[in-house]
A = this chain, B = another copy of it.
Amino acid sequence: MSDVYFDDLELADRFTSEPYTVSAQAILAFAQEFDVQPFHLDYAAADESVFGGLAASGWHTAAIAMRLFTTGPLRFVGGAVGLGVDELRWPVAVRAGDCLQLETEILDARLSQSKPKHGILRIRNVLTNQKGEVVLSYVANALVQRRPDAAR
């Protein structure tokens, strides 16, 4: 679905992204810029950490989920503005070579009180690896535009 508006979605609708493969280089580059902890930066230190090997920063994993959300089947006209996120969890670490895929579910939809041309979607994003393990999940509220002929 491209050119999506608030009014085009229904509760329990689900959307799946393309797959995305994470390289060791990408894990190291993100960590060097944003999360300079040994288990994200150094193979030997990572082996001795609770991760038992190089693991992506959780914020890198979250950024990959956003990439898959914004390049996926739900292309909102005017974009989707994140209002807040809860229940952000990383049950399994992301490793170099992992192939990730995002599933988005519409949990709730309500009109915005303050912006009559917009609605607020409550969504659950779940990112899984090639084994089907959940590596990231969260619930988010996002502000999206209403279809012009619906927003009166």
Contact = CB atoms under 8 A, between A and B. Distances in A.
Interface residues of A, number: 38
B143 A67 contact: no
A87 interface: yes
Contact of A84 (B70, B80, B83, B88): B88
Query: Majority SS of interface residues in chain A?
Result: mixed
Interface string A76-115: 0011111111111110000000000000000000000001
Interface string A44-72: 00000111000001111011101100110
A33 interface: yes
Nearest to A85: B88
Given A59-B66, A85-B85, A37 B90 contact: no
A23 to B, nearest CB: 13
Nearest to A69: B35
A84 B89 contact: yes
Nearest to A62: B59
Given A59-B63, A62-B59, A62-B62, A39 B88 contact: no
A143 to B, nearest CB: 7
A36 interface: yes
A109 B6 CA distance: 42
Given A30-B63, A49-B79, 9 more contacts: A33-B67, A35-B70, A37-B70, A37-B80, A39-B79, A49-B78, A58-B82, A63-B63, A83-B90
